[in-house]
Structure 1
């Protein structure tokens, strides 16, 4: 009785049944300031070199026409007044108009954003399939030759630039073997058919399935293999190392030892008893890896001419089209913030310890 009386009281959050609601609210409230700070930084960094119109088309316009366009766009006003107008436009969902091709930034983001999300989704599938699978092999063969080789592979996939990996894949599987397409998201004829039918500009795999065209769906996947593998390998090594380390830890826990003493097979122990707890740390790094893959998508899309936001970002940077660049950066920031929020919530639901 004395021991019970002197036992320390449980934390208040535990007595209330957990702090999931508060945890989710705090993580959600972190999204707006994160996006705001990045948007502010991009805006003022872009203005260091002067107004966007002069920077993008100043060398191609007469002086009078240039002054007129700068004045009409309001870029000759105080930079803080421009910033206030820019924030007001963002609050209304108005990202402005691109300076080089005069299209609405929101239209450009809608058209090419789905292509980037499609590529990142394919890449994440590659990383989540290869990483834990190879990590399980490394954990089961700990300190053997295969384990050492896989750990070296993990370091190489993380350290190798994605454009170099992409060029190697193109050289081997496209140029030499001719197994897969070199560039693009779809054969030109199929892409024209999608656009003509009003289905283009979205996630091509869904478009092909909605049309019931199995051949087009296969073509979409064939075009996605090389860029998805090139980009997915960036995160494969991270997932491999995280899963390997945690699987080794769970294989030494009491409940795994108890299952082994009952005669449960090693394969069942690994897949049923040890793999689930070891996957939780993998889930917690998915958000960070999503941001990493979005950054890698810029070089991947350029290497494979995958017409997404990354590819368009390089084109607009070359054209010094700051309005388009700002819009792309804001959207990417929102996607990364939301992805991290979703992963944080998922991890908190799976493992209550994360909430405290």
Structure 2
């Protein structure tokens, strides 16, 4: 009998380890698939940015060299040719392109033609303003879009739903500059509640000069100062630009949230939960809402590109001195070197943002990885 028990004891461990192997192998396959997906999506950023850089370079050169475009009517022919030769723009176009790619790899985006500043310094000086506006606008879009979308889904085909859908259409159909002008007219001119332009008053700007290491994000800099008056001033200046840019995207979010919540609200597992006596409020907040987030997060990456494009008109309308404001000025001055650098940075930001959104979508829904 002791021999039998000994054999049983020795036979049990292999059976247990064999039963646990499939689970471990499955977990390894899932984690390996996820990391392969992340690496593949990250590597796709490189050809995407390369193609955009190439297109921007040759489109900018389609009208000639940057110096002739910006200074052609202000310099004598001899001075113009001298500056073109010094900058190397009289060389073959393919040679200029190869040299430009080499400079990009070393972080050199060139020097502006109109004010002779390194393009990289323009990006670092004004980039924070655009990022701050985009973040605030995204907050507005998420709050308005998600809240109104859920209300519209809950009151489907009723008066509230019809009103919210009309509001959504007006949001994304109205040009952002026109909406900005209307907001300025109502809240700055007629009511006098909010400032009409700029990022802060002159007194607040003087306070920022006291900082040893300013970030360029005025909200963060105001928090560093610990002055609530400066913070309130910065937020008051940010309300109208953030609303104008945020409502543009909020209209898309409203319709997307409404459609996806209604779709999941009528799915089989929600009906099963309803048959078990789960309340309608809990069905909406727990069962139907979370699955509807997946397409919302996916579309968010594309909306970031729309938002950065809208930032050009928004910053110009409100004299918000960010990359969009500077891009508009350099376009008017036909400074293609500066325009090229700003467009490339925006392209990189959009590519990275879409990569982050794809990773988040893959974490939420494993089906995205395949």
TM-score range with shorter-chain normalisation?
Answer: over 0.9
How big is the shift at 1:267?
2.4
Aligned counterparts of 1:15 and 1:205: Cα–Cα separation in 2: 44
- When the two structures are superposed, what TM-score results if normalisation uses the length of structure 2? 0.90
Unpaired runs of 5+ in structure 2? Answer: 1-24
CA contact (8 A) 1:122 1:228 kept: yes
* Superposition CA RMSD, Å: 1.7
User: Which of structure 1's runs of 4+ aligned residues deviate more than 6 A?
Assistant: 12-15
- Of 328, 333, 356, the match for 2:347: 333
Aligned counterparts of 1:333 and 1:195: Cα–Cα separation in 2: 31
Unpaired runs of 5+ in structure 1? Answer: 1-11
Is the counterpart of residue 176 in structure 1 residue 190 in structure 2?
yes
- Of 25, 29, 44, the match for 1:16: 29
Could you tell me which residue of structure 1 aligns to residue 144 of structure 2? 130
Is the counterpart of residue 347 in structure 1 residue 361 in structure 2?
yes
Aligned counterparts of 2:30 and 2:58: Cα–Cα separation in 1: 46
CA contact (8 A) 1:191 1:200 kept: no
How big is the shift at 1:192?
2.8
Deviations 1:15-66 (A, max 9, x none): 9226211211221111111111111111111111111111101211222222
Work out which of the two has the higher radius of gyration on C-alpha atoms and give 1 or 2.
2
- Of 83, 91, 114, the match for 2:128: 114
Aligned counterparts of 2:230 and 2:90: Cα–Cα separation in 1: 50
Question: What secondary structure sits across from 2:89 in the alignment?
Answer: coil
CA contact (8 A) 1:185 1:223 kept: yes
Could you tell me which residue of structure 2 aligns to residue 162 of structure 1? 176
Aligned counterparts of 1:179 and 1:269: Cα–Cα separation in 2: 41
Aligned counterparts of 1:238 and 1:168: Cα–Cα separation in 2: 20
Residues matched between the structures, number? 345
How big is the shift at 1:225?
0.7
Alignment of 1:105-254 (within 5 A): 105-200=119-214, 202-254=216-268
- When the two structures are superposed, what TM-score results if normalisation uses the length of structure 1? 0.93
Question: What secondary structure sits across from 1:30 in the alignment?
Answer: helix
How big is the shift at 1:251?
1.4
Is the counterpart of residue 54 in structure 1 residue 68 in structure 2?
yes
Question: What secondary structure sits across from 1:180 in the alignment?
Answer: coil
Could you tell me which residue of structure 2 aligns to residue 6 of structure 1? none
